[in-house]
Amino acid sequence: MNKLSTKHLLGIKDLTAADIQLILNTAENFKEVINRPIKRVPSLRDITIANLFFENSTRTKLSFELAEKRLSADVINFASSSSSVSKGETLIDTVNNILAMKVDMIVMRHPNPGAALFLSKHVESKIINAGDGAHEHPTQALLDAFSIKEKLGEVKGKKIVIVGDVLHSRVALSNIFCLQKLGAEVMVCGPTTLIPKYIGSLGVKVEHNLRKALTWCDVANMLRIQMERQDIKYFPSLREYIMLFGLNKKLLDSLSKKILIMHPGPINRGVEITSDVADSDQSIILDQVENGVAVRMAVLFLLAGRL
């Protein structure tokens, strides 16, 4: 298997386990490339990629842009705040106008779930989903899986707990699909109000006690509380959330084994994890960011191969 089974990367749900393995293996080669003195390879020198960000992003946008540049692609950037979208242009019109300028691939972040899928049905281009609302964030899940594999040797058979605001998290859903396809066990942990009601149907364990969850797992992925998506109050106070679901050094050190700590960023220091946990030797948060570039290079390279 050295070809992806899909034409786009809309979500992990559409990928096979073989697809995921192919991306992770290719990313390993790109990780070696980005650690060379000269980090650029000419693979995509004849490809133009548009990064469309209809929602704010720092890491993902920079990471995609860097990945594209390291592959020698031509890159154009678009942020909805400074565009004609505010004048009332529709998504399809915006994208078709960009494609008319001879763009080969689209990387899109959008606040609405399903936006990437919708676009893939209406325009002739390769679409890469860089996050669609609370639905999926496939490249984040791939880089998380890559980081776990890098630290623990493999993902299969490992126990991963996703802690926090699972309800509003695209990272959580993509991670659940990805880790399960690779043969890992997944648990979600958080206040009842922030755990989707039917999440058990995905085959994940549900736990409301952080200590129990951490005792069970090999890896803890700590999600941010997404205040901007919370239209109603989901818990009485932030202070209470921190006391029940915040990870601090004392709790981490009291566990019998050394677990890995992950975070998709941006961190709210002192909320989901304290600073001394985020900066501890068990934290692989910055490895995740480094691996993000390699994984995105792999995704772009493999999809461009199907142009």
Partner 1 sequence: MMKPRIILDSEHLEITVTRLCYQLIEVHNDFSKSVIIGLQPRGIFLAHRIQKRLIQILKKKDIQCGSLDITFYRDDFRTKELVPNATEIDFIIEDKNVILVDDVLFTGRTIRAGLDAMQAFGRPNDVELLVLIDRRLSRHLPIQAKYIGKTIDSIVSEKVKVEWKEIDGADKVTLLSNE
Give the binding site for partner 1 (CB under 8 A): 2-3, 26, 29-30, 32-33, 36-43, 71, 301, 304-305, 307
**Number of residues that this document lists for the chain:** 307
Minimum distance from residue 26 beta carbon to partner 1 (Å):
6
Q: How far is the CB of 40 from partner 1 (least distance, A)?
A: 8
Closer by beta carbon to partner 1, 24 or else 167: 24
Q: Which lies closer to partner 1 via its Cβ, residue 39 or residue 258?
A: 39
Closer residue to partner 1 in complex, CB, 54/301: 301
Q: Which letter, b or e, does each residue of 150-185 get, where b requires 16 or more Cβ atoms within 10 Å of its Cβ?
A: beeeebeebbbbbbbbbbbbbbbbbbbbbbbbbebb
Burial of 14-28, coded b for 16+ CB within 10 Å and e otherwise, reads bbeeebbbbbbebbe
Least distance (Å) from partner 1 to the CB of residue 72? Answer: 9
By C-beta, is 167 or 299 nearer to partner 1? 299
Q: Which CB sits closer to partner 1, 34 or 79? A: 34
**CB 76, min distance to partner 1, A:** 21
Least distance (Å) between residue 304 CB and partner 1 = 7
